[in-house]
Amino acid sequence: MPEPIQVTVVGLGYVGLPLAVALARQFPTTGLDINRQRIAELRSGHDRTGEIDTARLSASSLSLTDQPQQCPPSQFYIVTVPTPIDSANLPDLGALQAASRTVAALLPAAVAAGLEPVVIYESTVYPGVTEDVCAPILEAGSGLVCGRDFYLGYSPERINPGDREHTIDKITKVVSGQTPQVLDRVAQLYEAVTSGGVFRAASIKVAEAAKVIENAQRDINIAFMNEIAQIFSKMDLSVWDVLAAARTKWNFLPFAPGLVGGHCIGVDPYYLAHQAAALGHDPRVILTGRGINDGMAEWVAQELHQARGEQAGTVLVLGLTFKENIPDLRNSKVADLAKALAARGHTVTVHDPLADPVEARHEYGIELTAALEAQHDLVLLAVPHSQYLKMGPAELRKLVAPGGLLADLKGELGGMADWSL
């Protein structure tokens, strides 16, 4: 009787943890994360990302460790570490390279056990990274030969933080492998954990490219919405009124304006742009869209400042996470907005019931307030968490000082605010 398939997932963040829990329902699975505190929290049943609830986490057979040497020899090593950008908007592959070195040290034991290990990357990258960047690191660190002793696969992550509909066990997974046989193995692995089936990409580079254009496409469409919001503002038109009319056409794409943060849409287009530039192509559309979206916080701050008659005052910003109903603070553009308001002389207070105060302080130097008591000259509903929407416009307006403004960034208050995009 064949030995059960053993899987090791490297990186237990928003992507890795849901995947590891799903895999553990079908296979012996080990989750490895170098963050000791993260592992301790998960062992206690707490997932700070909010993706896996305590009951499900406690019931999982997933093994957890922060020590690579504790990972058993595995047929599959799945890398799910973040791939951010640096201060110059260039790809930062540091975590991916470090994870590859970690996996490299584990491969000899798997080969010695006759497992023919496959290293699958889920991290978003530009086409070519898996084979041209990661493979040499795996070979150098293991002393093995890629394509003979171990193999490569790529299956782009499609986790949408806070989305309880498109979960890992329901979505279609794009899969790829170094050889047809490896592709079959990778496909069978993911078919075991998702009812959405798999799509077999023509190559690893095709799978990498498919992922990076998914988010670039969304970024460009949102950039158009942000640009028309700026245009209609000059015409004294509500962009939400315009969109309500336009969306009655059957093939109108239902994108909306707003701040584009998070770890994916605000980051991934730079990966594609970087590779395009390296090939001698000017990625004008991609970078123009990025420029519009990156500048949106500054534009909103100026609009709010003008709505206040360019008079500095006290501002309460409601919400700091990059989108509603999740604790994810990565690449929050609300932080940029708060900074831009402060630069115009406003005294800014930020409240968020879901964000981690320690993380907010560490990442952005923002001290979150725990109370919603004092009245402010401007109250901005920046992130429409359910808690805020349940309060309703009347309760929110009680936070506004006499003569002040209630502002609604995403049009969630149904025209009851004094200012909206």
Residue 71 annotated to the active site? no
Determine whether 72 is exposed, middle or buried from the number of CB atoms within 10 Å of its CB (0-12, 13-18, 19+): middle
Select which of 71, 134, 146, 264 is catalytic.
Answer: 264
d(CA 14, CA 245): 36
Report the Cα 159 to chain-centroid distance in Å: 8
Residue with tokens 């969109």: 243
For residues 353-390, b (16+ Cβ closer than 10 Å) or e, as one string? ebbbeebbeebbebebeeebeeebbbbbbbbbbebbee
**Helix (H) / strand (E) containing 213:** helix 204-234
Do β-strands 376-381 and 314-318 pair in parallel, antiparallel, or remain unpaired? parallel
The CA-atom distances, in angstroms, between 253 and each of 241, 256, 378 are 15, 9, 33
d(CA 83, CA 305): 35
Give the ranges where 93-197 is alpha helix by DSSP (H).
94-112, 129, 135-142, 180-191
Q: Point out the residues that are catalytic.
A: 264
